Structure 1
Amino acid sequence: MSQPEALRSLLESVAAGNVSPTVALDKLKHFTYEPVGEFARIDHHRQLRTGFPEVIWGQGKTPDQIVQIMAAMRQRNPVVMATRIEPDVAEQLEEKVEGLRYYPMAKIAAIAPARIEPQYPGTIGILSAGTADLPVAEEAAITAELSSFRVLRLWDVGVAGIHRLLDNRHVIAEASVLIVVAGMEGALPSVVAGLADCPVIAVPTSVGYGASFSGLAPLLTMLNSCAAGIGVVNIDNGFGAAILAGQILRTAGKLQ
């Protein structure tokens, strides 16, 4: 049961007299946040505030810490997601977390239904310039799918072979919002924005030779794009791009 549904159910139970105010007060203690050991405070209220539940940043956490956080979060959310999970950590998590699914390309570990149907209108199109950009692009794609959005993927369509992009313009045309992932010089978002009638979220990656400065060069290219309608997230931040795309689609739904 999701956080809003759990809160509504509790309030209805109080109104019906099935749950006393004292018991309800005890249950509400952890509706805002819940301590986990001495190392975490889970923000259960985040989905009510923002529309998306808290997601675990896996890098820097021990496997045991991630296991404990997931155990607490799965009591309140149908989907629990952890990002930046290396394969060796995933193996340890799979031994201790029932029903865990691991997406190796995206480095995401999640407790989720086998199939998640899109709950929101619109489509998030995700393009990658090169195969080396796929880990970041897949992080965006899996995040969006786990958040109940429809995703269209188009990989390896960088500007070094622009005909590959032009041959697949239907993906651009079908998308309600686009995430464009590129390293090296980072030119692809500018080209896509010149063809698209929807918002473009540019994601620079740390892929490239020395003068790309681990993603700084494509970041600056994207920030300096002459094409209008581009927003830029941080280097390698596929997760942030997916959440931003989701917020755009959810906000569009409010305006209808």
Structure 2
Amino acid sequence: MPVRSILEELLRGRISLEEAERAIESAQLSLGDRVRFDIFREKRTGFPEAVFAPGKSDEDIVNIVKAVGDVLVTRLPPDRAEGILKELGDIDRRIEYHETAGVLAARSGDPEFIGRIGLLSAGTSDIPVAEEARVVAEESGCEVITAYDVGVAGLHRLLDPLRRMHESGVKALIVVAGMEGALPSVVAGLVDVPVIGVPTSVGYGVGEGGSVALKSMLQSCSPGIGVVNIDNGFGAAVLAVKILRACSL
């Protein structure tokens, strides 16, 4: 039910104040027959709804961005982003497309700073997933300190970035790795903050598709690791944001 209809029902005495409040909190913004946008998700969960581009038309995405306000569009390839950006050329918000991450951000202002996280990738092939996490975290108010290509094939590369992140006061680490997925286990054995492991689909042979990296992280002997799904940089960033917000309570 649209918010206006809920308020009209309240004014006519057909529903109570408590019923109206519950109805508004669960309200959705309908954009045609295809899209029902959850406009109160941030109030319920602490993180706004994002738009997953696959399965939605360019027109759907343009309509959502114009109607909703601040929004992130994920998994948006460059060939689609070009046309969408042209359609959004007259919008009165900051619009940025991050090609490596595949994320389009539309914001009316800068987010409030909530803290720092560290972001590591094992190899350069893991960077697109890491960049998705970085953009989502930064657009949510995090300062992100990155170190890419620091995997277990050359562990000497890892120590300086970890030292720098520790000195910067990071409250959580996102560690992105494909192949055998060993890096989060190594990192978790060296730090005193939560580690969020992100397996990627980078690999071949038995490691193809990311299942080996996922199982390796789940089976880790290093305590303090939480693991998200394969290639889920977005989910890792949301978890890191919620950790930082909990730390500030």
Is this contact kept in 2: 1:124–1:245, CA < 8 A? yes
> 66, 71, 77: which is aligned to 1:80?
71
Quote the Cα distance in structure 2 between the aligned partners of 1:44 and 1:169.
38
Question: Per-residue displacement from partner, 1:68-123 (whole Å, max 9, x unpaired)?
Answer: 1111112xxxx31100000011001111013531100100011125x735421x31
Percent of matched pairs sharing the same residue: 50
> 107, 116, 123: which is aligned to 2:110?
116
Cross-structure match for 1:209: 204
Give the superposed CA RMSD. 2.3
Quote the Cα distance in structure 2 between the aligned partners of 1:181 and 1:204.
6
Quote the Cα distance in structure 2 between the aligned partners of 1:136 and 1:43.
25
Residue identity in the other structure for 1:89: R
Cross-structure match for 2:215: 220
Is this contact kept in 2: 1:118–1:145, CA < 8 A? no
Quote the Cα distance in structure 2 between the aligned partners of 1:95 and 1:168.
39
Cross-structure match for 2:48: 53
TM-score using structure 2 length: 0.85
Cross-structure match for 1:96: 87
Task: List alignment gaps of at least 5 residues for structure 2.
Answer: 4-10
- Per mean C-alpha deviation after superposition, the further-off stretch among 170-179 and 216-225 is 170-179
Residue identity in the other structure for 1:137: A
Question: Per-residue displacement from partner, 1:193-214 (whole Å, max 9, x unpaired)?
Answer: 0011000000000001122131
Quote the Cα distance in structure 1 between the aligned partners of 2:230 and 2:239.
15
The offset of 1:248, in angstroms, is 1.0
Runs of 4+ in 1 over 2 A off after TM superposition: 28-32, 115-119
Task: List alignment gaps of at least 5 residues for structure 1.
Answer: 1-6, 8-20
Residue identity in the other structure for 2:133: A
Residue identity in the other structure for 1:119: F
Residue identity in the other structure for 2:239: L
TM-score using structure 1 length: 0.83
Quote the Cα distance in structure 2 between the aligned partners of 1:131 and 1:102.
21
Cross-structure match for 1:181: 176
State how many pairs are aligned. Answer: 228
Is this contact kept in 2: 1:181–1:203, CA < 8 A? yes
Is this contact kept in 2: 1:125–1:177, CA < 8 A? yes
Residue identity in the other structure for 2:201: S
Cross-structure match for 1:162: 155
The offset of 1:183, in angstroms, is 0.3
Quote the Cα distance in structure 2 between the aligned partners of 1:80 and 1:30.
20
Matched, 1:33 2:28: yes
